[in-house]
Copies of this chain bind each other. A is one copy, B any other.
Amino acid sequence: MLTYAMEQRGDLSLYEYLYRCIRRDILSGALAAGERLPSKRALAEHLHLSVITVEGAYAQLEAEGYVHTLPRRGFFVSPVERTAPAPTVPAPAAEPEERAWRLDLKRNRVDMARFPVSTWARLTRRVLSEDGAALLRPVPHQGLPALRQAIADDLRHFRGMAADPAQILVGAGAEYLYLLLAQLLGREAVVAVEDPGYPKIRQVYGSLGLPCRPVPLDGQGMDPAALAASGASVAHLSPNHHYPTGLVTPIARRQALLRWAEDTGGYLIEDDYDSELRFTGRPIPTLQSIDRGGRVLYMNTFSQTISPSMRLGFVVLPPALLAEYRRRLDFYACTVPALEQHVLALFLSEGHYERHLARMRKEYRLRRGAVLAAFRASPFAHRIAISEQGAGLHFLLRLETGRSDEALRQRAEGLGVRLGFLSEYAAVPDGAHAHTLVVNYGGLEPAALPEAMALLAEVFAE
């Protein structure tokens, strides 16, 4: 008869402990396949347990397939593989750690002090207290209607764009939307991307197996002739503020790009990264707002303007692709939690977003001025040329130097400085991109400028 030291069960219930003991014996082979277990009553008497306890353990073993019953004959051990000693599976690699830099010009940290956290928190509390069940109510796959209406209103008021909330698709950030658009455009699509350009765009399309054709930029953006020659069916562009060059595409070029799309039946994905942080003049009319043929997919996110940790972006689909989306991809549930959508809808519709942007523009205009002045007064001022178009949280800085970008990067890292280079954004290596830094100044506090310039003077020393 099975004999187990029930008093050694520790915190486990009697039923649980008995189940584990028998399972261990089955897995170790001590109980062989086909062997009959003692009847419940017999085992209960033997171990001084109630029949219900044994019944529970047997039922569990049966549910998991360790034993089976034969009618009127009782419980039998099922054929089960022995547990082999675990082979050595390599331990998971330790997570890559973010280094703490003395100066980081490669990545913009959104300045937390600038975001109205207390307003956001207040709106969150309001949604929770006025309608906590909103957390649980299903959200339409394209996103909360109130949020899509607020986005459409914002686009109309501040970008002069006509977008029906029904055309808007809300999703968890730019990369998720790229994934969705790639599926919408179909596996036959060939995507022209800007060169240089944001590498994640190429990475996402590439990861889905869509061929990417890097198209070099001239002084106005993507050249329609080069685009036509590329054989692409879709062009992914940021005409309103190209990253990292800062280029703004003028109206005639925009029209030429639209004509390419109309003539070829192609599409333009207008990726409106960063365009809210334009410091001078009116915003440029978007491609979407001058599109007469329904060839433009407009997308934007709130990552730069609110926080990269609030994953929220949207696409405005032209009618034909909206219909296609509903036909093929509407099975995807909306990826943004209901709470964030409710709060952002209020944040937009009550004007907090507009005020926040106005404050950010003012702050960053001042910061930009201070940063540019510090560069121009630096010991290396005579060796640099800065190109900036009055928009965004970065500018390009071309350095006269005999060193390679890689040598500069290594020397910088030795000094605790992280630099970003234009050459990192190039799909096709091009000597013209060398020696050019992408200076992300979003995290550069004015008080930190003297130390930053001193560090850079060391990095740049010949």
Contact = CB atoms under 8 A, between A and B. Distances in A.
A16 to B, nearest CB: 7
A200 B331 CA distance: 7
Contacts of A166: 92-95
Nearest to A327: B93
A308 B292 contact: no
A215 B115 CA distance: 52
Interface stretch (A127-135, A378-386, A400-408): A127-135
A230 interface: no
A220 interface: yes
A148 to B, nearest CB: 9
A319 to B, nearest CB: 5
Contact of A175 (B250, B254, B309, B332): B332
Band of interface residues on A? 35 or more
A24 B133 CA distance: 49
A5 interface: no
A285 B138 CA distance: 32
A349 interface: no
A135 B66 CA distance: 48
Given A281-B63, A337-B340, A137 B81 contact: no
A79 B255 CA distance: 11
Given A78-B250, A89-B293, A132-B117, A173 B333 contact: yes
A322 interface: yes
Contact of A167 (B92, B248, B280): B92
A282 interface: yes
A35 to B, nearest CB: 15
B311 A336 contact: yes
Nearest to A321: B92
A121 interface: yes
A185 to B, nearest CB: 12
Contacts of A164: 91-92
Contact of A309 (B19, B112, B139, B282): B139
Contacts of A256: 81
A30 to B, nearest CB: 16
Say how many copies of this protein the assembly contains: 2
Nearest to A320: B90
Nearest to A207: B183
A228 to B, nearest CB: 17
B311 A90 contact: no
A176 interface: yes
Contacts of A86: 292
Interface in A222-273: 248-256, 259
Given A173-B333, A326-B93, A137 B124 contact: no
A217 interface: no
A139 B56 CA distance: 45
Nearest to A329: B207
B136 A307 contact: yes
Interface of A: 16, 19, 56, 59-60, 63-66, 78-81, 83-84, 86-87, 89-96, 98, 109-110, 112, 115, 117-118, 120-121, 124-125, 128-129, 132-133, 135-140, 142, 164, 166-167, 172-173, 175-176, 179, 183, 187, 199-200, 203-204, 207-209, 220, 248-256, 259, 280-282, 284-285, 290, 292-294, 307-312, 317-320, 322-323, 326, 328-340
